[in-house]
Structure 1
Amino acid sequence: MSFTAKNLILGLAAMAFSLTAAAADANKMLADRHAARGVPCQACHTQMPPKAPSNEACAACHGGYAQLAKRTAKKDINPHDSHVEDPSCNQCHSGHKKPRLLCDQCHEFTDIKVP
């Protein structure tokens, strides 16, 4: 095998590995993403036995809906600036299950990715 062919094969293998790693990271649950950043379970689960985090627990780190709406304002559709009054963070975000977009109960927003 020539030097150029080896480089091509190694480059393709490295690219495939990096795409697989990126896809695996995107598929992590929200709890895994928090843990990777050093956030302990108790930061979200403030009650024992653990229950779904309250909006207040989420807001302690992420800010309230007004702050989140500003952070996501450049999106075509801003999920944090909604006509739904006082939604629970847990209606879209789930620490230990696949997330689901509350908006999709009535709409079909295929370009919104929920962590």
Structure 2
Amino acid sequence: MKNLTIILSLVLSVFAGSALAKDNTLLDQTHAAAGLKCKSCHGVEERQAVPMDKCVQCHNTKKLAAKTENVKPTNPHKNRHFDTETTCSKCHNVHKESVNYCGSCHQKFDFVVP
């Protein structure tokens, strides 16, 4: 399971210009391909929205920020508004196409979001 978590983390940490972003694969498909079941994130009893604290169990925000430190014009995972703790779902949607949340105010931030 640890290897699966590492692989999934690496796959999902690829940000700008990734193959996932280019072919529009939804993150639910990416998670399923890595062997995760819906209940892994949504819970067993009743499907619930996934809180950020669930995301960070597999995706370390500080490591992700380090991996994207050279993305221009700014690091999308370490910003002056939220540092490394921007709520993941602001950009990354699981069951629909992800969005560039930063671009709603900063037009020059044309990030490709997996």
Q: TM-score of the superposition, structure 2-length normalised?
A: 0.69
Judge conservation of contact 1:30–1:95 (CA < 8 Å) in 2.
yes
1:113 aligns with 2:109: no
> 2:71 is matched by which residue type in structure 1?
K
Shift of 1:67: 2.1
Task: Say which structure, 1 or 2, has more relative contact order (CA 8 Å, 6+ apart).
Answer: 2
1:78 aligns with 2:88: no
Judge conservation of contact 1:46–1:57 (CA < 8 Å) in 2.
no
Judge conservation of contact 1:92–1:114 (CA < 8 Å) in 2.
yes
Shift of 1:113: 1.2
> 1:114 is matched by which residue type in structure 2?
V
Structure 2 unmatched runs, 5+: 1-18
Q: Which moved more, 1:92-101 or 1:65-74?
A: 65-74
Count the aligned residue pairs.
92
Q: SS in structure 2 opposite 1:42? A: helix
Residue 45 of structure 1 aligns with which residue?
Answer: 42
RMSD in angstroms over aligned alpha carbons? Answer: 2.3
Q: TM-score of the superposition, structure 1-length normalised?
A: 0.68
Structure 1 unmatched runs, 5+: 1-21
Percent identical among aligned pairs is 35
